Chain A
Amino acid sequence: MSEELLKVENLEVQFKSGSAITKAVNGVSFTLNRRENIGIVGESGSGKSVTATSLLRLIPSPPGKISGGAIHFDGKDLLKLSEKEMKSIRGNEISMIFQDPLTSLNPVFTVGDQIIESIKTHQKVSKKEAKKKAIEMLKLVGIPAPEKRINMYPHEFSGGMRQRVMIAIALSCNPKLLIADEPTTALDVTVQAQILDLMKRLQDEFNTAIIMITHDLGVVWELCDKVLVMYAGNVVEYGTVKEIYDQPKHPYTWGLLDSQITESVSEDQPLTTIPGSPPDLRQEITGCPFAARCAYAQDVCFTNKPKMTEVGENHYAACHFQTKENRLDRKEKTAHDRAIVTS
C-alpha cells in the first residue's frame, strides 16, 4: 500500500515583476504515497498555493516560472512533459478544487454541462453515458434529486452545495491525486464538517491521495496523515501528523501551534503570538527565513540557511539547533504542552 505516488524534489518557483524576483517557493521536497493525505500549512504568502498549482503546471508564465527541481508523479517527470501530455493529466489523473466554489464554476453553463465536459474530455464515452455518470457523481457527493439538479445553474446552489459540485467534477475521472486548496475556508463550520466527512468517505471509494492546503490546523488533524509546514517559501518542518503535534521541533511550528485558540487556552491569559511579520520575498534571504522572528535565534541563524535534518521517525525540521548533536527545548510550558499532557 505504501507505494510512492508523488515525489517533489527541490521545487523552486519564481515570479518576476520589473527587476525584482520573488522566490515564492524555494526548495520544497516531499513524497506522497497512494491513498495518503498530506496537509500543507502556513501563513498567507508562505507559498502553499504556489506549490500546489505548480504540481499541475498552472503557474501563469510569465511572470511565474518553475525555475528548478523535479516533480515525479506516477513514474513520470511532470516538468519534462509536453503541454499536450500535461493536458491529459490535469483533471484526469490530478484534479484540483479551490477555495471559492462560486468563481470556479462557470455561471452560464448548468452544473451538469460542467461535469459532462470534464468526463468527455478525458474518456471516450457518448454524451448519454457521460450524463449518466454525472448524475451518479452528484448522487455520490450527496446532492438530493440529482436528475433535476443537473439542469440547474451554479447560482441556484448554496456555498456548500457548490463545493460538492466541484468535488463531483474533480472526482469524475477517478484521479489518483486530488489537490484541495482551502476547500472549506469559505464555508460555515457545520458545512465544513459535512464536506470533510464527504472527502473522507469518497477517499475510501476512489482511493485518491489528497493534498490539503489550509491554514486551519484543525482540518489537518481531521483529515491528514502527514504535514508540511511552510514559511516564506521554505519547508521548515515535515512529518507525520502525530509527530508534528506531539513533538514539534521547529520554533515556527511551535508558534503556529500556540497561536491556535483551543479549549486548553485560558480566557484570562493573552494568546501567544508570533511577533513581527513574514519577510519580504523579493529580497535575498541569507540564513534561516524565520530568524528575524525567532525567539531562539543566534548569530549562525542569520548567516547560514539550515538544512532539513531528520529529527525523529519520518520527521524532518530545518533548524540549526534541532540536529543529532543539538537539541533545543522550549523555554516555557505553553498551552500546547499542557494540551499534550492531557490528551
Chain B
Amino acid sequence: MTEPLLQVRELKKHFPLESPIPFVKSRLSVKAVDGVSFDVYRGETLGVVGESGCGKSTMARLVNQLITPSSGTVQFKGENLIGMDGKKLRETRKSIQMVFQDPYASLDPRKTIGELIAEPMVIHRIGDKTSQKKRVEELLEVVGLSQYHAKRYPHEFSGGQRQRINIARALVLNPDIIICDEPVSALDVSVQAQVINLLKELQREFDLTYIFISHDLNVVRYMCDRIAVMYLGKIVEMGTYKEIYEDPKHPYTKALLSAIPKENPHDRKERIILKDSVPNPINPPSGCHFHERCPVAMDRCKREAPQLIDTGNGHIASCHLLNEQ
C-alpha cells in the first residue's frame, strides 16, 4: 500500500458552551467531532455521509485548519498541520482547497469572475498580471466556461455556472486535495449531473484527490471510492463504496440506505424508518450514541460504547452486534 496523502488521527473539536455564570468557564461543550481517524490516498475520493449536525462540515474545516481542533493530528504528506506556524501553514494550504455548498454565498458579488479566480494567486503572490490573466482564461476553459466570462459579475451566472467558477478557483493553485462540502446539493438534477461529470473529469486530468461531503447517498455512491458514515461526531462505519452499499454492517448505515427514495414506481422497498432525529450533541446518549434510535439495540448498547471493528476488506464498523457473531 502506498503512503496515504492525508492521515487524520483522533481528531476532536469540542465547542465550549457559553457559561450561565459570567467569568466562569462552562464545563459543557458540543462535541462536534469526537475522535475521527481516517486516511486518504492519492487519486481517490473519500465520501463522508451523515445527517445534519453529525459533524461532516466541521470535520472538513478541521482538516485544512479553518478551525483549530481541540486535539488530534492531521498529517499531510507526512507533516502535521496542527500547530504548524502560520507562514508554513499558508504555504501548505495551497495544496488543500475547498468548494462550498452555496454557490450564491461563496462568491463576492462586487468582484468580477476574473478577479475572483485570480485572487488566490494574488494572495500567494504568484506570477504577474499577464500570467495571472492567462491562467484565469485557461481555467475558465477547463471548467467549461468561456474567456469572456472573466469580465462579468457573479449575479450574471446561474447556480451551476457559479459552482463551476468555485471549482476553477479551487484549482488555480494546483492543489492535491479538494474538499467538496455538499457541492451539488443546491443544484437541479440536470445541472447536478453536469457538475458531477466535471468533477470526475478534472480528477482524471489533474490527478486530484477529493474529500466529498454529501447527504445524497446516490451522488456519493457514484462519486466515491470509499465512504465514511458519521453519526454524532464519530465515524460509525467506513469501507469501499461496494462494501457499504452491498453489505452495510452498522444499523445506522442500513437505515440511511433504506431511506433513499424509490428508484422507480414499481419498487417495493422495505424501509427502516428511524424514530426522531439526531440527539442533542451537548448531552449525547450513553454507550452507543445511536442506541435510542436503533431498531436492534440491546442492553449492552446503553452501557458501553462500541469500538470500530475490522470486518475485512478494509471495512470497519462500530456495533456490538458484530462481536456477537
Contacts and interface: CB of A to CB of B under 8 A. Distances in A.
Interface of A: 43-44, 144, 158-161, 188-194, 196-197, 215-219, 221-222, 241-242, 245, 255-256, 259-265, 267, 270-274, 277, 339-340, 343
B215 A161 contact: no
Interface in B267-315: 267, 271, 273-274, 276-277
Contacts of A260: 189, 218
Contacts of A191: 51, 277
A48 to B, nearest CB: 11
B174 to A, nearest CB: 24
22 contacts: A160-B277, A161-B277, A188-B51, A189-B51, A189-B215, A193-B258, A196-B261, A197-B273, A242-B265, A242-B266, A255-B190, A256-B189, A259-B189, A259-B193, A261-B193, A261-B196, A261-B222, A270-B197, A271-B196, A273-B190, A273-B193, A274-B190
Contacts of A44: 159, 188
A262 B190 contact: no
A241 B264 CA distance: 9
A221 B197 contact: no
B54 to A, nearest CB: 9
A259 B192 CA distance: 8
B260 A218 contact: yes
A254 to B, nearest CB: 11
Contacts of B192: 259
Contact of A261 (B215, B218, B264): B218
Contact of B262 (A43, A222, A256, A277): A222
A262 B127 CA distance: 44
B204 to A, nearest CB: 11
B194 interface: yes
Contacts of A339: 263-264
* 7 shortest interchain CB distances as A-B pairs: A218-B261, A271-B193, A193-B259, A221-B262, A259-B193, A261-B218, A189-B259
B200 interface: yes
B270 to A, nearest CB: 12
B82 interface: no
Contacts of B68: none
B271 A189 contact: no
A44 to B, nearest CB: 6
Contact of A277 (B51, B158, B196, B218): B158
B266 A343 contact: yes
A218 B190 CA distance: 15
B26 interface: no
Contacts of A190: 51, 255-256, 259, 273-274, 277
B52 interface: yes
Given A44-B188, A189-B51, A219-B261, 6 more contacts: A188-B277, A190-B51, A190-B259, A245-B265, A261-B221, A343-B267
B282 to A, nearest CB: 14
Interface in B129-168: 158-160
A158 B52 CA distance: 11
A192 B261 contact: yes
Interface in B13-62: 51-52
Nearest to A196: B261
Interface string B188-212: 1111111011001100000000000
B215 A218 contact: no
Contacts of A273: 190, 193-194, 197
Nearest to B184: A261
A259 B190 contact: yes
